[in-house]
Chain A
Amino acid sequence: MKGLAPILAAVALLAAVPLITASNVVLNFLVLALLIALVGQGWNLLGGYGGQYSFGHAAFFGTGAYATAILQVHYGINAWAGFAIGIAAGALIGAVIGALTFRSGLKGSHFALVTLAFAEVLRIIASVAPITGAGVGTLIKLDLRPEAFQFQSRAPFYWIALALVGISLLLMRAIEHSRFGAYLVAIRENEDAAQALGVNTTIVKLGAMTISAAITAAGGCFYAQYFLFIDAGIAYGPWISIEALLAPIIGGVGTVFGPLLGALVVKTLGELGKLATGDAPGLDLVIYGCVLILVVAVAPRGIAGMLLDLRRRFLSSKTAAPPALERGHG
């Protein structure tokens, strides 16, 4: 089972963190990084493997978050059930947007534009509709019981976020080794050729978008339970669409570990920026934007790509070394 060991090792390593430190600052930082890793993994499936760059993953994040919150607040539905329904709702929105856009043959910058527009429409609706609390936002009542998906300490939240990320890593590895994954990569590399070879590109892209939306919606559901508050700007705002694509692109687009690596780097940079200049609004995003441009310019395959290159260079220098040594002796 190639590729399984690194995933299990990474998850086991991260799972041990709360046993070492109970610091809320550390755990909070890691929970947010894991959240972005999860949201980014959703983007990575569609954008990284499928080559369809969405600028509006907020549409799925926000739908998951609002579904979880509204079902609890207005309909008294259990938070865990709300969590599951939220993921399904996100997947449904993904399927609808995907069906509309892919059937119209939108790709490249048109696809990016139309996803952005869908997210904006949802944001405006959420900022005026009574059921979302309009401008005030939705507050989930404090109820610190595990049955209500609320916990006294950060550690259980951390483990749940880690479990979600672990599942997304396993899912991505499975997709990478599947026929579906191969079709998806073929579409990214050359959609016309893939179609000519008999791949039903619309169905494959639609499937990728639905799964992608479900993963990102899971992040939204988790966000609602963790902060117990959402409004239109948080749920459907452009910030989450940007972080969703930033993490995989910095970490390594189209790789299993890219979003996790990228999320850790992005969040670390953001925290360092805050330490350097105080918590000023906008600064973290200025740093993210610069890093995004730099990564695209210098390391188009992200951190994972750089690590792979290093390993290849290391391996090839090991095999090339012995003859050189012999010559040195002779």
Chain B
Amino acid sequence: MFSLAIIVTAVLNGLMTGAVYALIAVGLTLIYGVLHIINFAHGALLTAAMFAAFFAHKLLGLDPYVAAIFLTPLFFVLGYALQRCVIGPAAHGDDRNILLVTLGLAVVIENALLYEFRADTRTINLPYAFDVIEIGTTFLAVPRVVAFVVAFAVALALWLIMRFTDTGKAIRAVAREKLGAELSGIDVAHIYAVTFGLGTACLAIAACLLVPTYYVNPHVGNAFVLIAFTVVVLGGMGSVPGALIGGLFVGVVESLSGYYFGESLGQISIFVMFILVLLLRPSGLFGARA
């Protein structure tokens, strides 16, 4: 039972899953870091993106990896519009209102999908879904390896955007000092919306990486987003590197505890970790500033 090979397999699989968690969490933490809000609509938007990837394959015959090229800009625009036209104006700048508006959005999106597509669980069949790569004694599914690599590439791209582009600098300026940024001529409402758009675009990529190996139903995003919240809290709210490390860590913990305790209790271990971290170290395990 404690065979090394099985543990290695569990850890490697955990890292693969963890990379996707990290990507979802990066979107969430980016929005938190700049807008200082927790986006409760994150899970519902992920569900919407997974449905979009599913139907791109079913109706247009697009491979999910190809669909990502179209869905990413589409979801950027969607996120931009949501912040600019719904969340921003409706919330009047009050934190409690933002909580409620994003919760309301989540309820609307999730249940609109439930109404339209019912609770049926759908999957797509891809020719390469069961291809594996052999590493020593371990077999890894190709789509999961692709997810791992792409998730890291996206995180790197995001880091480059934040570091070297004017928009990235403006985002960091707004995150650090909103009033000062506004005084030096940065359009804060625009930057907020861009940040929200980037966070949502991450979801579109994550969705396209998930769809080849995961099922789609109207509640599928919830499971991921609660994990993403855990990752964000673990990594320190607003910290992108923290989200990456946190995502991998949570992926491994889930994989190992799922292996030893069974799936339901494995899920509980994540929540328990989440609650404990929030109660004991709300600023995160990796020491980012709260």
Taking Cβ atoms with an 8 Å cutoff, the residues of A that contact B are: 51, 53, 55, 100-101, 104-106, 108-110, 112-114, 116-118, 120-121, 124-125, 127-128, 242, 245, 249, 280-283, 285-286, 288-290, 292-293, 296-297, 300
- Is B161 interfacial (CB-CB < 8 Å)? no
Selecting from B47-55, B106-114, B206-214, the interface stretch reads B106-114
Minimum C-beta distance from B266 to chain A (A): 10
CA separation between A288 and B278, bound complex, in Å?
30
Judge whether B38 and A117 touch: CB under 8 Å. no
Total contacting residues, chain B, CB less than 8 A:
45
List the B side residues contacting A286 at CB < 8 Å: 107-108, 111-112, 115
- Is B289 interfacial (CB-CB < 8 Å)? no
Judge whether B111 and A285 touch: CB under 8 Å. yes
List the B side residues contacting A110 at CB < 8 Å: 278, 282
List the B side residues contacting A293 at CB < 8 Å: 86, 90, 100-101, 104-105, 108
List the B side residues contacting A124 at CB < 8 Å: 264, 267-268, 271
List the A side residues contacting B272 at CB < 8 Å: 121
Judge whether A106 and B104 touch: CB under 8 Å. no
Q: 21 A-B residue contacts at CB 8 Å?
A: A53-B99, A53-B100, A55-B40, A105-B282, A106-B282, A109-B37, A112-B38, A113-B38, A113-B229, A113-B278, A114-B278, A117-B226, A117-B271, A121-B268, A124-B264, A124-B271, A281-B119, A285-B108, A292-B103, A293-B108, A297-B92
Judge whether A292 and B264 touch: CB under 8 Å. no
Judge whether B275 and A117 touch: CB under 8 Å. yes
CA separation between A87 and B84, bound complex, in Å?
44
List the B side residues contacting A105 at CB < 8 Å: 282
Judge whether B92 and A300 touch: CB under 8 Å. yes
| Listed residue (B40, B99, B100, B268) with the most chain A CB atoms within 10 angstroms of its CB | B100
Judge whether A128 and B115 touch: CB under 8 Å. no
Minimum C-beta distance from A227 to chain B (A): 21
A104-B282 contact in complex given A53-B99, A300-B92, C-beta closer than 8 Å: yes
Judge whether A108 and B278 touch: CB under 8 Å. no
Minimum C-beta distance from B257 to chain A (A): 13
- Is B89 interfacial (CB-CB < 8 Å)? yes
A109-B271 contact in complex given A104-B279, A286-B111, A286-B115, C-beta closer than 8 Å: no
List the A side residues contacting B229 at CB < 8 Å: 113, 117
List the B side residues contacting A242 at CB < 8 Å: 103, 107
